Structure formats: C-alpha cells, structure tokens
Amino acid sequence: MPIEPPTTPWQFPPVDVADSHGLVAIGADGEPGTILAAYRRGIFPMPVEAEGELGWWSPDPRGVLHLQNFHISRSLRRSMRRFEFRVDTAFDDVVAGCADTNRPHGWIDHRIRSAYRELHDLGWAHSIETWLDDKLVGGLYGLAIGGLFAAESKFRRVTDASKAAVAALIAGLSDEHGERRLVDVQWRTDHLATLGVSEITRPDYIQRLPSLLAVPPSALFSGERSTIPILPTA
C-alpha cells in the first residue's frame, strides 16, 4: 500500500476560481503531501512556463478516458505483439524520456522530476513501460489514487510505443472494478480522442472524485507484478 506523506500546510482555493485556461493558483511547493492534496481536489501541478512558477490547474472541460471506451486499432493491436510491458522497473528513465528537452512544449523540469520521484518512492507514482529487445522504447507515468489514474505524460522512441503503453495500462486496470476506474489525461487532444478520450465538465469531474478515490487500488501497482510483463488486450 502507498505511504501517506505528511499533510501539506497549503490551502488550495476552490476550483471554480480557475481562469479560462484552468489555472487555479500559483506557488506552494512540490512536496508529496501537497501534490496528493491537489489531486484529491481535482487540481494538478504544472509550471506556468518553462522553469517558471509552479501553477495549479483544474481545466474545464477535463479530458478523461473511461476504460470501457478505450479504442485500440487493428494496427496497434498488431504492433503490440512485438512489445513487452513492465510496471515500475524504469520509472526514472520513463520520466526522463517524457522530459526530453528536444520535445516541443516541454514542461517537466527538475522540480517535477524530483517531486514525482518522491511520490514513486512512496508508492503513488508509477510507470508503464514499453520494451523491445530488452530496450526501453516508450512508456508513460502518472499517479494512482484509488480508482483514479492521473496520467502525466508519455513518450516513444519507436512507432506505437506510447500508445501501446496506454493500451497496457488499460488492460492492467480492467479488473472487477474496471467500470469504476478513470484515467485522467487533463486535456483532450485530437490524438488522444482517437484512443477514446472524451471530455466532462469540471463540476462533473469534481462530483465524481470522492467515489473514484474510494475504489480499491489496482493490483497492477501492488509491487507484486513489477517485473512481470503485462499482456496486451486480446
């Protein structure tokens, strides 16, 4: 089970004070207790600009993926057969791949990397990794809190490696509580929409949070399967 960190001293304002971009507040810190408190209120951290002040966001609408709506194309299904999928065996490398400075619109700076490393050590942050010929070629990372998986970022070094990681995540979360689980992707994009990502309003998201957080944690992140490949969807 994840370890609960010390309580944050910061108080977040209500999410309905967010501006048109979803920015709720600026400042605070990147301590594990602060970040977890934010997610439990429907807020997530992201620098306002590269190496700038830390912003706290709650967009409206919110991009989400219901597990039952995940769409896997025939080409992706075929592509997945060549990959191996692992959980939490290369967390730092996955975050580094997502933080590659050659990628456009990069936002993952040293503060974010350090903060999520601490959350990983406490059992909250996790990586889903795509491997090919024993080399890390893609993956994603995020926070698992009850039935909520807050996906932070993904990367790929070969075709389909990041989308395959999403498919592996969905397969791993699809247990007896699968219909009650939700993957939060923050903002919907055209690319994510092809995978089944949709939008819900901020009030709907906030209303659903308590029941989401009460869902039993997935065995995917229990630590018992950390070196066992995840089988792709059938």
Q: Can you say whether the dihedral through the CA atoms of 148, 72, 57, 16 is positive or negative?
A: negative
Residue 186 resides in a domain: yes
* Claim to verify: residue 91 and residue 186 sit in the same structural domain: yes
User: Tokens 């389909």 sit at which residue?
Assistant: 160
Q: Over range 39-58, report the average pLDDT.
A: 91
- In whole angstroms, give the CA distance from residue 204 to residue 198: 13
* Claim to verify: residue 113 and residue 174 sit in the same structural domain: yes
Residue 9 resides in a domain: no
DSSP 103: S
* Claim to verify: residue 146 and residue 87 sit in the same structural domain: yes
191-227 residue pLDDT tens:
899 999 999 999 999 999 999 999 999 999 987 655 4
Strands 54-57 and 23-26, bridge-based pairing: antiparallel
* Residues sharing a CB contact under 8 Å with residue 166, sequence separation 6 or more, in sequence order: 70, 128, 140, 151, 154, 195
Residue 169 resides in a domain: yes
3-class DSSP state of 38: helix
Residue 27 resides in a domain: yes
Tokens for 124? 């909250």
* Nearest by Cα to 187 from 177, 198, 176, 195: 198
Q: How many domains does the chain have?
A: 2
* Claim to verify: residue 72 and residue 102 sit in the same structural domain: yes
Residue 53 resides in a domain: yes
* Claim to verify: residue 113 and residue 170 sit in the same structural domain: yes
- In whole angstroms, give the CA distance from residue 100 to residue 136: 14
Let me know: does 127 contact 95? Beta carbons within 8 Å: yes
135-144 residue pLDDT tens:
999 999 999 9
The amino acid occupying position 44 is: F
* Claim to verify: residue 97 and residue 115 sit in the same structural domain: yes
- In whole angstroms, give the CA distance from residue 68 to residue 130: 22
pLDDT at 227: 47
Q: Is the pTM of this model over 0.75?
A: yes
* Claim to verify: residue 68 and residue 141 sit in the same structural domain: yes
* Claim to verify: residue 119 and residue 199 sit in the same structural domain: yes
Tokens for 25? 């507040």
* Domain that includes residue 41, residue range: 15-57
pLDDT of 104 higher than 60:
no
* Claim to verify: residue 90 and residue 24 sit in the same structural domain: no
Residue 171 resides in a domain: yes
